[in-house]
Structure 1
């Protein structure tokens, strides 16, 4: 492998390493921001006719060593270049702009940034020329469909189209809809929900989906459930219909899992045990990454939220809490692996959910 540098390298140095490679591997974590970053780099490589292979995984495996340049996106895996600066998509857009300016999709970069929790701004927003409006950030023009599938909020109606339809009876207009969603999301929720729900309000319009926030929500869903569809979406291959189908199913399963999970509260830790096994359609019953985010944002009274099933776990923690070491130590103690970034992490391990909770608590 060539020594191309690390995450602090200037975009021109990273771009030069990619341009000079005969074959590039892009190895990313399975989240919307990393997916968008992967798509931006892949588009630039396409434009410069550099062959590449892209992959997404909750916990990426060590990549094959057949590439001239390997890029780790969102993790610290073995690589020549590491992109870990949040938002990953903005860092990738800087590299792509240096490599092939005409190949940069500012809307994709902004959607990735929104997925990472950032507010759209700067040159990317100017280039995308998106307008903000009242309402709620959903990816479809049907508000019932949009709110039923959305994982930007968790409320009594989430994941259930009939419940959404009943709840919205008599609510007309974008302002009224936004107010209703905001109030519903903070009901019986921890204080952080009031800040988090703002991501779903006053959305930017979007070309590929109804809103930019909705686009970000779709990116998160396909990254976790259907990485191949996600990469095709990020490359602009016209798979929006398939992506929306994945997003709908993803949201329904996430909200259902959150409601049905067995929860336990410890000092500084809120745990939800759920079923992460495989369905016949290939989807995990509970998309743990999304369930952990919703648990932390809308249900956890503690600064750390852990969702665990037999063999796998996901965590989300407040910025002031460093839970990454405990996540890794607990996984390693059960012959597993883990990766974490910006308060979010995933782990796989040998053992039951109870085994992992005990190991995690012992490592904290």
Structure 2
């Protein structure tokens, strides 16, 4: 199969859909991979490395998008949508529940859109979202610690404190992959960390892992308010796969937080978990609203793009090999977890959660594939 890997054009997005090592695996399997020139240049994956791995170099985005299977990282940007064509397979992160306009345009393109973030494994986990969640969770603490510095609008709190001075208070909403890795990083800095979730088994598991260093609380409105008022840094990491994030933090709550405290909303890809959250970019990552510094970058892992690209290819490569080797229809029929990644099929929404959030008609993937 012909596989196209375009260069990402979202603000400061330096990840690339496949590493040279991934290309080598695909070409060894008999596939032809077209990588847009300079797609991985900023993270040390030169055109020469891709050529050595067996890729062909596409001189333009149009050349890369001429392939029947497109493998990339982020959702198509406005200038990329006209390059898509009917019955083309797009395999990438989409996060469509937060973007009805993009959803409509992709439906009009009549492509087959498989979203990394809704693919599941045999245990029901999210194997293609997990690596970026690991990266984002760790970056969230780095970004939050930086935003807390006075020069960046924060309250001047050092998360780890120093001898004789109390550490900063970190509140993490959601004990999934993002929240767990954020907790690990914050504890490593010496912060006072509380992690909230609605799953008591998950909280027990993390209590066993981290012990007394980590405080855990059941997530309900009163407890969130109580802890948010004391926090120097809040990390929002709640997830409903394929759906908009729930708004756990109201504007009224933000108004009562400590002046110049920080909110890092990792859920912004799915609309954000605070009423005051709106997407930002790496070029302009923060804004202040109601006296609180908001960091809401919609492609956080791009800050560590080399690490993120390697982690992503490790996870996606088996699926790319399956789609390219069996054909997209047979690959989806053979793998129920991959089939859950099917968000759009030839002008129809095929993910129930997405359709419910956007109030679009929905057809089941099983029926669509027949």
Q: Compute the TM-score of the two structures, normalised by the length of structure 2.
A: 0.29
Higher RCO by CA contacts (8 Å cutoff, separation 6 or greater): 2
